[in-house]
Amino acid sequence: MSEFDIQTLKEITEVATSALKSTERGVSLVGTVKGLFEKSEAAGNSDLKARVSELSAQVTDAALANTKLKLQLAELLNELNEQKARNDKLARYELTERKSGSFVLKLRQEQQGNEPMHSICPNCADRRKHIVLQPKYHGMGTFNLVCPDCEADFGHLRSVPYDVA
Ligand SMILES: [Zn+2]
């Protein structure tokens, strides 16, 4: 989702918020009108009374619909922001083929900064999980690169001399 969409949604949310405020004012205004009407001589007019009640109900419905809309928009905006954060995080990695022939998402050189060079699991990334691949002892003094979450094995990482292991 692009910046533009997020910006547009923010604007819609602002419009919905101001609409909500004006509906709240509408509700209180209709309440006042209703109160005045009931105290007035026109209160005996049943047709007029029905119309005031209907207006009051309509404004209340609009206020409820606006509140619901505002909540939905806030949820959507939140979801888009989370998606953007995930995409930004993922953009720091590139799909790389290892010597073993397996593919991992490796941190781009220019993105390294103070972090140690590492790769994340492409399977887990597809499931919106950010899992750093780790060495796992594979026997015979060798370590494989594996995902601690989905347990995918990305093949040989390194060997260690027997006297050290
Ligand atoms: Zn995984």
> Does a structural domain hold residue 165?
no
119 and 69 inside one domain: no
Q: Which pLDDT does position 1 carry in this prediction?
A: 47
Q: Which pLDDT does position 3 carry in this prediction?
A: 59
Rounded Cα gap, residues 138 and 67, in angstroms: 57
Rounded Cα gap, residues 63 and 156, in angstroms: 62
> Which residues are found with C-beta within 5 Å of the ion, ligand 1?
121, 123-124, 131, 147, 149-150
79 and 108 inside one domain: no
Rounded Cα gap, residues 120 and 126, in angstroms: 11
80 and 98 inside one domain: no
Number of domains composing the chain: 2
142 Cα distance to chain centroid: 41
> Does a structural domain hold residue 118?
yes
> Does a structural domain hold residue 40?
yes
Q: How many DSSP H helices and E strands does the chain contain?
A: 3, 6
Residue ending a domain, among 49, 68, 90, is: 90
Q: How far is the CA of 133 from the centre of ligand 1 (A)?
A: 8
97 and 115 inside one domain: yes
Q: How far is the CA of 123 from the centre of ligand 1 (A)?
A: 5
Domain with 40 in it: 3-90
3-state secondary structure 87-124: HHHHCCEEEEECCCCCEEEEECHHHCCCCCCCEECHHH
Q: How far is the CA of 25 from the centre of ligand 1 (A)?
A: 53
Query: pLDDT tens digits for the chain (165 residues)?
Result: 455 566 766 776 677 677 767 777 777 777 777 777 777 777 777 887 788 788 878 887 888 888 888 888 888 888 888 889 999 999 999 999 999 999 999 999 999 999 999 999 999 999 999 999 999 999 988 999 999 999 999 999 999 876 654
122 and 82 inside one domain: no
28 and 10 inside one domain: yes
Q: How far is the CA of 86 from the centre of ligand 1 (A)?
A: 16
57 and 27 inside one domain: yes
Give the predicted TM-score (pTM) of the model.
0.61
Find out whether 144 and 153 touch, Cβ atoms under 8 Å: yes
Residue ending a domain, among 37, 59, 90, is: 90
9 and 86 inside one domain: yes
Find out whether 142 and 158 touch, Cβ atoms under 8 Å: yes
Q: How far is the CA of 122 from the centre of ligand 1 (A)?
A: 7
> Does a structural domain hold residue 164?
no
65 and 97 inside one domain: no
